[in-house]
Structure 1
């Protein structure tokens, strides 16, 4: 990238957001300065739409977001989903059938209503968001495929995430996309062809921005398609080895405001 980027894309958890779920004042200030000077910043995350408020509350202004690993493009100014590419009910049925055969102890959850609601098996571990009214248990096992889902989540006890993803990917073949962004046995499944790269490409094409003009930050395997697609890929220091391997550059960790530090140097130097 020989000139300043025309667009900055960044992952959230593990990249922009610190381990305590905070966005630092430094980071918020840098993003506000960049956008005020005319360079759009897009949040590209595995999070559902309903989890964006936690980040927006810490920024000077909400930023456009590509959620659910590329399945949802969201405009916070109008609270509208501009594009959604969910798993259809028949595909959810087939994916669940394959995974139950390959992983008998698997439990499932689905992000429905463009990621505004979560439905899950009774055995699904609901943790810090247990009181969230948008989350509830399936009324019956058939509820898993009752509605299109922008993401299917599957867990099976505590497993090595890379090894578990390999099992899931082998079971699915080419019928759906599987990735992970977790340090436990959690796989994230999207419709075939749906990745962070695909969602960001749709957004950039809409705004006349070439991939070579995009600077992207990430930390986990679900970021690899986006980082490979972008003109410059930057890994944070705490990134998964698969991300560091394909990155063009490495910045400080998320807890050390690596994204902000990199952007400060880049934009100040120009």
Structure 2
């Protein structure tokens, strides 16, 4: 990609944000410069919609977002979901059935209402926003698949995330997508064919932009489909080994403003 990209897509956590979940002034300035010249930027994240305000309050203006690993495309200006591709209730039920049979002690949560709300089993360990009004425990296993869900979350105690995702993916082969974006033993499950790449491809087509003109940044296995789809996929130095292996290039870490440093090749700071 010798010419400047026509679309910039970036993961959020571990990529755009520093480890303390803040956006550096350098990165904020780089994104503002890109917007000023009219090049679209889209956030592509595993985060639900309800977690985006923590990012938007650090930006000069909110950016469109592809959430829930590609299942939701969101316009923050109008607060509108442009596209959603959830797991249907009957599919959720079958996925849960297979994993309960395959993984002892597995527990589940679901992101529903386009990821504005979460429902979880009583024994599912909440790591974040446990007191948020949109989070609620379910009263029976059937409630887990009472409504379409843009993401199913699975935990089974302390697990090696790479090994655990292989077990889940094997149990769900051909039925759903399984990936992970953290080292906490959480597996994220989407409908078959729903990945960050699929969500980004839909968004790029909507703008009339070819994949060859897309520059994408990421750090974790859920970013691999997006980085391999984009014309240029760039991993940050702190990224998972599987991500650095498939990336076209590796930039500096998220703590060292790696995304901003790479973007400055095409959108340099003004003197």
TM-score range, shorter chain: over 0.9
Matched, 1:189 2:189: yes
CA distance in 1, matches of 2:7, 2:110: 31
CA distance in 2, matches of 1:262, 1:256: 11
2:138 maps to which residue?
A: 138
Q: Quick check: 2:33–2:267 contact (8 Å CA) kept in 1? A: no
- The 5 A counterparts of 1:44-63 are 44-63=44-63
The alignment's C-alpha RMSD in Å is 1.2
SS at match of 1:8: strand
CA distance in 1, matches of 2:22, 2:124: 26
1:199 maps to which residue?
A: 199
CA distance in 2, matches of 1:22, 1:176: 33
- The 5 A counterparts of 1:44-193 are 44-193=44-193
CA distance in 2, matches of 1:123, 1:22: 31
TM-score if structure 2 supplies the norm length? 0.98
1:127 Cα deviation after fit: 2.9
CA offset digits 1:176-223 (Å, max 9, x no partner) = 001111102110000000000000000000110000000000000000
TM-score if structure 1 supplies the norm length? 0.98
2:24 maps to which residue?
A: 24
CA distance in 1, matches of 2:127, 2:204: 35
2:222 maps to which residue?
A: 222
1:125 Cα deviation after fit: 1.5
CA distance in 2, matches of 1:48, 1:109: 13
SS at match of 1:190: strand
CA distance in 2, matches of 1:43, 1:173: 28
